[in-house]
Amino acid sequence: MRATDDRYRGEQAKFELALRMIRHEARTGTIRYFTGLNDDRIRKLYTTYFKFGQAPVRRQRGRSPTRVAPLVRTPNRALESGVFANLLLANGLFSVEQPPGPGLKGSIDLGLRLCECFETFETLVPRSALSFEWGWNLLLSLRRGDELGIAYCEACSICYVFDLLSLPRAACPACLLFEERGPIELVAAAS
Ligand SMILES: [Zn+2]
């Protein structure tokens, strides 16, 4: 019985992760990557739970975005990407010391953590242009380490994402924004 129970729980966890990802408008390929469910089952889940619901969820078709330039195109985008990258790093989805970090394929636990990062991100940056799929693209790119890097600014103590291939290296986006907007009034921290 235990084997049957465990298997049932395993299947249940896959479905729950798939539903959570569909809610974030993840693409079928991304859901398949983490859950191992085939396209047909993912499609049925979407139709059963979301297609005719009160708040319809759009189904993203085709491949995930693979370009990275939009993630750092403006200082604002680079800052947003930096917030998401910090969450990914803190949640162990990639590693700077032991790149690229843990294997993600088929990991329900890490898939859930990715969803949690995205949900936290949406709370922190409610009107962001970064979708779940762009967040996934950012994670893959940081793990590959060939196009995007993460840097720490000693002047303002933030971590930001930058294009490894652009020379000279982009300055810290937060410092740039402060420069553009002129001096800001510092709010004293509550003692
Ligand atoms: Zn800075």
Backbone φ and ψ for 154, nearest 5 degrees, come out as -75, -25
Greater confidence (181 vs 44) lies with 44
The more confidently predicted of residues 184 and 37 is 37
CA of 173 to the centre of ligand 1 (A): 7
pLDDT tens-digit profile of 101-120?
A: 999 999 999 999 999 999 99
CA–centroid distance, residue 106 to ligand 1 (Å) = 37
- In the reported structure, the alpha carbon of residue 176 is separated from the centroid of ligand 1 by a whole-number distance in angstroms of 7
Which residues place a Cβ less than 5 A from the ion ligand 1? Answer: 153, 155-156, 172, 174-175
Prediction pTM value? 0.86
pLDDT digits (tens, 9 = 90+) for 138-183: 999 999 999 999 898 999 888 899 999 888 888 899 898 888 877 6
Burial class (CB in 10 A: 0-12, 13-18, 19+), 66: exposed
Distance CA(37)–CA(140), nearest Å, equals 20
Higher pLDDT, 18 or 156: 18
Whether 63 has a pLDDT exceeding 90, the answer reads no
Ligand 1 geometric centre to CA of 16 (Å): 39
How much is the pLDDT for 170?
A: 83
Q: Which residues neighbour 180 within 8 Å (Cβ) at sequence distance 6 or greater? A: 75
State what percent of residues in the chain have pLDDT above 90: 59
Which band of pLDDT confidence, cut at 50, 70 and 90, is reported for residue 185? low
- The answer to whether residue 191 scores a pLDDT higher than 50 is no
Q: DSSP characters for 76-90?
A: HHHHHHHHHHHHHHH
pLDDT at 157: 87
In this predicted structure, what is the pLDDT of residue 154? 93
Compute the mean pLDDT over every residue in the chain, rounded to the nearest whole number: 88
Between the CA of 130 and the centroid of ligand 1 the distance, in Å, is 21
Higher pLDDT, 62 or 102: 102
